[in-house]
Amino acid sequence: MENAPTSARVPRKPQLRHWLEFAGYRLVVAALRLFPERIALLLGEGLGWVAGVLFRVRWRTVMLHLDQAFPERDRTWRRSVARASFRHVGRQAVATFLLGRMGIEEVRERTDVIGYEVMREAWSAGRGVIVLTGHFGNWEMGGASIAAHGTPCDVVAQRQRNPLFDDDLVENRTRLGLHVIERKDAPKEVLRSLRRGRVVGIVGDQNVRRAGVFVDFFGKPAATARGTALFSLRTGAPIFLGMARGLPGSPQRYRVTFERVEFEPTGDMEADLLGLTRAHTELLEKRIREAPEQYFWQHRRWKTLPPDGD
C-alpha cells in the first residue's frame, strides 16, 4: 500500500469577517473545554433544542422530511424525533469541537468497532476500499476511527467558506491520520487513491443539483451522486457502509459499524451505476431507520426534483 497522496491545497487569504468568525469559534471552543465533558455535551443538547424547538431554525424542514419519511408514524412520534434530532445535532457539534484535542489512542478507546476486520480484509486485496457514510451519528469520528485503528484513509471534503476554519478542520483531520481530498479534485484523486490501495471515505447522502441519478430514499426520489458507484465499478474497490452511532452517556462513545454493500455488476455501466447507487442508498436508509433521531434531517435532501417534477 502506498503512502498518502501529496496534492497541495491552494491557500486562500482570509478577510476581516473570517478572522472575526474564527475568533468567535475559538472562544466558544475554549469555553466548552473549561467544562467537564458531561456538562459540555448537555450544553450542546440544550443549544440544539433552543435553536430548533424554541427559535424554529429549520423546524419546518425537519418536520416536512419526517412526514415524508415516516408517513406511517403519528405526528406525536415525529415531533419527538425532531426534538431529539436537534438535541443530537447540538451534542455532536460539541463532541466534534472536543475531538480537536483527542489523540489517536483516545479515538480508539471511544469507538466500539464492528465489521472492521471484514473491511480490513477487503482492503488487503490491494484494490482499495470505499467507505460510504451519511450525515448520521458523528461522521467525523467515523472517519477518524478508520485511521486510528491502523488503516490509511483519505476523506473527500468540501472546503469551508471561511479559510481559517477550513485550515483548522484539515489540521485536526490530518493530526488524526486522515488525508483530505478536496471535493473539486475528487474525480481524479479518488481514483488515484483507490489504485494506490487506500481507503477513501465519502459522505454520500447530499442533494446534488446536476449529473446525479434519482433513487428512492425513504420512498421519495432523491438526486444522488454517481461518483461512489462509478469509482467502485471502475476500480473494483468494494463499497462498505460506515456508520458512527453515538452512544448515551459521558464520555461520548460511538458504535462504528462497517457493512459491505452487496451488488453484482452486469457489465452494463449505466444500469450498474443506477443499481449500485440504489443498493448503497437502501442500506443507508435501513440503518437510519434504526436511530432516526441521529440523522441530519435539517439537510434539504430532496431539494432537486426529478425531470418529471414528482
The model's pLDDT over 22-72, given as tens digits with 9 standing for 90+, comes to 999 999 999 988 999 999 999 999 999 999 999 999 999 999 999 999 999
Tell me, yes or no, whether 5 lies in a domain. Answer: no
Instruction: Give the domain extent around 275.
Output: 16-294
Tell me, yes or no, whether 9 lies in a domain. Answer: no
Tell me, yes or no, whether 301 lies in a domain. Answer: no
Place of cell 451519528: 137
Tell me, yes or no, whether 106 lies in a domain. Answer: yes
**% pLDDT > 70, the chain:** 96
The low-confidence residues of the chain, meaning pLDDT below 50, are: none
Looking at residue 4, its pLDDT comes to 60
Tell me, yes or no, whether 306 lies in a domain. Answer: no
Tell me, yes or no, whether 179 lies in a domain. Answer: yes
Quick check: 260 and 120 in contact, CB under 8 A? Answer: no
Total domains in the fold of the chain: 1
Place of cell 458523528: 138
Tell me, yes or no, whether 166 lies in a domain. Answer: yes
Closest by CA to 206, choosing from 232, 185, 227, is 227
Looking at residue 152, its pLDDT comes to 87
Which neighbouring-strand residues pair with 114? 257
Quick check: 68 and 219 in contact, CB under 8 A? Answer: yes
Give, to the nearest 10 degrees, the angle between helix 16-32 and helix 163-175.
40
**pTM score of the predicted model:** 0.93
Quick check: 204 and 157 in contact, CB under 8 A? Answer: no
Looking at residue 11, its pLDDT comes to 80
What are 48's three cell numbers?
A: 440544539
Looking at residue 6, its pLDDT comes to 55
> What is the number of other CB atoms lying within 10 angstroms of the CB of residue 82?
23
